């Protein structure tokens, strides 16, 4: 009887601990969810529409998203195997340039669904990573899958990839960078990326 009592107590503690961890993770995942919502609001604000408001719109979006994105993780994944060959200065330079390209790319894709509403679905946890599944529902009732992938940082989550209709932004960039590095040196690629960033700014 004593052994049975111990098993029940230990099992209860373990079960309670699991639910506490789930509750904590769900609460902290609300932070990137709030950032995503505010980002969508910026992109769909009536007073920020049109090419004349593009720079202001992107600046507000950048201010909202940057604290919630894990640009180092995004950069490491996008550069692939070449990441380990780069110096600390080269990595930092790449992160700064890629950050601008990634935010602009996200904005341009989401802006296609003007007037759309973001509906949050399931959350999937594979520590230290998580997936937030959402749908953009347009005014015509059309639905598009958008998945936000996040990495855990202490008691917080930061987004490192966005998958729209099954297409990962990071995977797309990794393919582009691999192709560029097969033709150019890293420094030459960086010059080309900086020119691209200036053109889209």
Domain count, the chain: 1
Q: What does the pLDDT look like over 46-72, one tens digit per residue?
A: 898 888 988 888 888 888 888 888 999
Which of 39-48, 89-98, 120-129, 139-148 has the largest mean confidence?
89-98
pLDDT of residue 39: 81
Q: How does the average pLDDT of the chain come out, rounded?
A: 82
How crowded is residue 181: how many other Cβ atoms within 10 Å of its Cβ?
17
Looking at the predicted structure, is the pLDDT value of residue 22 above 60?
no
Cα 53 to the center of its chain, rounded Å: 24
Position 201 scores a pLDDT of 61
Which CATH number do you get for residue 87? 3.10.450.710
Query: So what's the pLDDT on residue 161?
Result: 95
Considering the entire predicted model, what is its pTM?
A: 0.77
- Structural domain harbouring 103: 2-200
What's the CA gap between 191 and 196, in Å, rounded?
A: 9
Q: How far is CA 166 from the centre of its chain?
A: 14
Q: What percent of the chain has pLDDT over 70?
A: 82
Q: What is the pLDDT of residue 109?
A: 83
- Determine the average pLDDT of the residues in 102-120: 81
Question: In which band, very low, low, confident or very high, does the pLDDT at 136 lie, cut at 50, 70 and 90?
Answer: confident
Residue 73's pLDDT band (boundaries 50, 70, 90)?
Answer: very high
Ranking 12-16, 26-30, 73-77, 120-124 by mean pLDDT, the lowest is 12-16
Q: Which of 15-19, 52-56, 125-129, 140-144 has the lowest mean pLDDT?
A: 15-19
CA angle 180, 96, 172 (to 5 degrees): 40
* SS3 track for the chain: CHHHHHHHHHHHHHHHHHHHHHHHHHHHHHHHHHHHHHHHHHHHCHHHCCHHHHHHHHHHHHHHHHHHECHHHHHHHHHHHHHHHCCHHHHHHHHHHHHHHHHHHHHHHHHHHCCCEEEEEEEEEECCEEEEEEEEECCCCCEEEEEEEEEEECCEEEEEEEEECCEEHHHHHHHHHHHHHCCCCHHHHHHHHHHHHHHHC
Q: Is the pLDDT of residue 199 over 80?
A: no
């Amino acid at each position: 009887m004593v052994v049975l009592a111990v098993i029940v107590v230990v099992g209860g503690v373990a079960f309670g601990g699991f639910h506490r961890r789930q509750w904590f993770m769900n609460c902290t995942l609300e932070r990137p969810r709030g950032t995503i919502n505010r980002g969508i609001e910026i992109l769909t604000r009536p007073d920020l529409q049109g090419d004349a408001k593009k720079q202001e719109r992107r600046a507000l979006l950048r201010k909202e998203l940057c604290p919630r994105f894990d640009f180092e993780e995004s950069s490491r994944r996008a550069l692939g195997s070449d990441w380990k060959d780069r110096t600390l200065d080269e990595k930092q330079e790449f992160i700064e340039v890629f950050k601008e390209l990634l935010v602009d790319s996200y904005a341009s894709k989401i802006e296609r669904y003007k007037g759309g509403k973001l509906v949050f679905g399931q959350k999937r946890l594979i520590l230290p990573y998580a997936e937030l599944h959402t749908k953009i529902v347009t005014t015509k009732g059309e639905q598009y899958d958008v998945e936000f992938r996040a990495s855990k940082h202490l008691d917080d989550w930061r987004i490192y990839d966005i998958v729209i209709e099954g297409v990962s932004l990071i995977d797309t960039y990794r393919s582009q960078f691999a192709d560029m590095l097969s033709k150019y040196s890293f420094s030459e690629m960086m010059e080309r990326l900086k020119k691209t960033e200036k053109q889209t700014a």
